[in-house]
Amino acid sequence: MNFTKISTDKLYFLCNKYQWYTGGDTFQYELLFNECRNGAPIDRLATFIYVCSRGYSEKEILEILKKECHYND
């Protein structure tokens, strides 16, 4: 797993920018942000987003998160 920090504000911005998580309910949305606050790896966040989103593969979401977070392996 790859670890990186992403703020909840940045994650919220990205969800709006890319129209992610539109299929999730408030409980699922809160789980995503709790994971983010607890420092979950971006691989895990990408999986959460993928499950509740349409139009992006899990790999595409992970690549966008890496790019937007200026992440390097």
pLDDT at 56: 96
Pair of tokens at residue 9:
């504000």
Q: How far is the C-alpha of 16 from the C-alpha of 41, rounded, in Å?
A: 20
Q: Where are the alpha helices (DSSP H) in the chain?
A: 8-17, 26-37, 42-51, 58-68
Give residue 70's pLDDT band: very low, low, confident or very high (50, 70, 90). low
- Mean pLDDT for the chain overall: 89
Q: Does the pLDDT value for residue 60 go beyond 80?
A: yes
Q: Does the pLDDT value for residue 66 go beyond 50?
A: yes
Q: What is the mean pLDDT of residues 53-72?
A: 88
Q: How far is the C-alpha of 58 from the C-alpha of 32, rounded, in Å?
A: 15
Q: What is the mean pLDDT of residues 22-40?
A: 92
